[in-house]
Amino acid sequence: MPDTHLSNSPIIAAYTERTRKSASLFRDAQDKFPGGLVHDSRRMKPHPIYVDRAEGARKWDVDGNEYIDYYGGHGALLMGHTHPTLVAAVNKQIARGTHPAACHELELDWAQLVQLLIHSAERVRFTSSGTEANLLAIRLARAFTGKTKLVRFENHFHGWQDHVAFGSKYTPDAEDVPGVLKGIVENVIVADPHDADAVKEMLESRDDIAAVIMEPTGASSGQVPLGRDFAKMVRQVTQDRGIVLIFDEVVTGFRMSPGGLQAAWGIFPDITGLAKILAGGLPGGAVVGRRDIMELLDYDVAEARGFQKISHHGTYNANPLAAAAGKAMLTAIAEEDVTERAAEMGAKLRDAWNAVFAAEDMPWAAYGLTSTTYIFMNPDGINIDPQAFDQFAHPADAFLATDRHPARAKLRLALMLNGVDVSSKPGAIMSSVHTDDDVAETAEAMRRSVRMLKEEGAV
């Protein structure tokens, strides 16, 4: 049986030994933050690392350990850390003022690039985060249709706000959600995206649905893959039924293609939630979409047509620093091949890892789309060939099962011991500045990590 305990593990012991300063900082954090953390996904046993600095595809922790970084600022850093173009843009703006409390030209430049890249962005409203973008998108959809029900899909993540705070991987239960009003829960339908017929039937038969929100590539940014056919079906039915379709492209926007997943698949939603890459690694998000829906935010249109305008404030909407970084990032995406290059490196990493899994006789597989990669850890021992793994040929449960693999946390620690920081899924978010050498080093790190796990009986 694999060892699920943190004690008596050479991997944990070695990690503890080389991250002493991080351990000490984490102890200091206990009487400051609940659980010592500022973000739920930083949770790591025995303790998380504290990062001192980052540059390009690398980062260094406070103990001086170097990592090739595959967490990529939770997906925001398509061009890696401290890219000179972005640093210059932000430095230039910081000296000119961080908040004019007024309109500024950078917001126009930024929005123009969003409209250039995202074809469905007839109008743009900036927010401070992806959570806020989706919150506003949902309110717009309910106001536009005059209907109440929001359809969302099991395990899809749309931020932490009340309307989507359940039915996600982190809070699967939709019965009794602490802190969320029953009235909100009752107006959200959590549907199974892997039962397309039932979804279609529901959308066709109910008259109370305002909107459908989805991660178009599947739950957790595609960790549980959903093919194009599902998105296409949902688009068709929602269009026929006058239901607002919201694509949450907070992760996939500018990453699946310069124009997001919607351009890659040729399926266009009514409204899109954007963040992460949009703001070049600074805090920022946006709701973009159909002019007639976005007009609910327009004072003059509301007055002329006699409806109550949707109120939307936000101290940091289109903040000049985020606008400067976002403009620099989106300019690079529009004019250079950064999205394509990151995607190419993602494919190389998957190939390299799958070669290691095959050589090491591990029933695991690296899969994903473009520059996002996940590791299928296969706790149920499904018979697979890592080098011929088809992510659309397995049921959702097989992918969700990775979460309960007893060695999942240890794999991440072992990779860190070997100089690689992957995301907690586990997965790898590529940037355009990762190199072939990084991929070769990362493949070797995976080989050593798998062997370490084998040695202590964890796999």
Q: Which of 18, 21, 74, 206 binds ligand PMP (CB under 6 A)?
A: 74
For residue 72, is it left (φ>0), alpha (ψ between -120 and 50) or beta?
left
Of 57, 1, 60, 61, whose CA–CA distance to 26 is shortest?
61
Of 272 and 402, nearer to ligand PMP (C-beta) is 272
- Applying CB under 6 A, does 153 fall inside the site for ligand PMP? no
- Applying CB under 6 A, does 215 fall inside the site for ligand PMP? yes
| Binding residues with ligand PMP: total (CB under 6 A) | 15
Of 378 and 423, nearer to ligand PMP (C-beta) is 423
- Applying CB under 6 A, does 56 fall inside the site for ligand PMP? no
Q: Which two tokens stand for residue 232?
A: 């296409």
- Applying CB under 6 A, does 270 fall inside the site for ligand PMP? no
- Candidate segments 30-38, 92-100, 153-161, 180-188, binder of ligand PMP by CB under 6 A: 153-161
Q: Is the dihedral of CA 207, 213, 215, 220 positive or negative?
A: negative
Q: Which of 19, 65, 120, 131 binds ligand PMP (CB under 6 A)?
A: 131
- Applying CB under 6 A, does 136 fall inside the site for ligand PMP? no
User: CB–CB of 273/249 below 8 Å?
Assistant: yes
Q: How far is the CB of 157 from ligand PMP (least distance, A)?
A: 5
Cβ-Cβ contacts under 8 Å for 423 (sequence gap 6 or more):
70, 71, 72, 74, 429
- Applying CB under 6 A, does 253 fall inside the site for ligand PMP? no
Sheet harboring 209-214: ordered strands across?
123-127, 285-289, 271-274, 244-248, 209-214, 149-153, 188-191
Of 358 and 400, nearer to ligand PMP (C-beta) is 400
Q: Which two tokens stand for residue 448?
A: 């050593």
Backbone angles phi, psi at 68, to 5 degrees: -80, 125
Of 256, 314, 258, 263, whose CA–CA distance to 286 is shortest?
314
Identity at 64, one-letter amino acid code: G
Cβ-Cβ contacts under 8 Å for 71 (sequence gap 6 or more):
421, 422, 423, 429
Of 21 and 169, nearer to ligand PMP (C-beta) is 169
- Cα dihedral: 447, 451, 454, 455 (round 10): -170
Of 280 and 285, nearer to ligand PMP (C-beta) is 285
Q: Which of 130, 222, 281, 326 binds ligand PMP (CB under 6 A)?
A: 130
Q: Which of 93, 129, 217, 262 binds ligand PMP (CB under 6 A)?
A: 129
- Applying CB under 6 A, does 169 fall inside the site for ligand PMP? no
Of 221 and 317, nearer to ligand PMP (C-beta) is 221
Cβ-Cβ contacts under 8 Å for 347 (sequence gap 6 or more):
370
Q: Which of 80, 159, 222, 326 binds ligand PMP (CB under 6 A)?
A: 159
- Candidate segments 23-31, 157-165, 295-303, 373-381, binder of ligand PMP by CB under 6 A: 157-165
* 320-335 helix and 105-117 helix, angle to the nearest 10 degrees: 40
Q: Which of 19, 65, 221, 372 binds ligand PMP (CB under 6 A)?
A: 221
Of 7, 54, 52, whose CA–CA distance to 25 is shortest?
52
Of 135 and 452, nearer to ligand PMP (C-beta) is 135
- Candidate segments 99-107, 128-136, 294-302, 393-401, binder of ligand PMP by CB under 6 A: 128-136
What is the binding site for ligand PMP (CB under 6 A)?
Answer: 74, 129-131, 134, 157-159, 215, 221, 248, 250-251, 275, 285
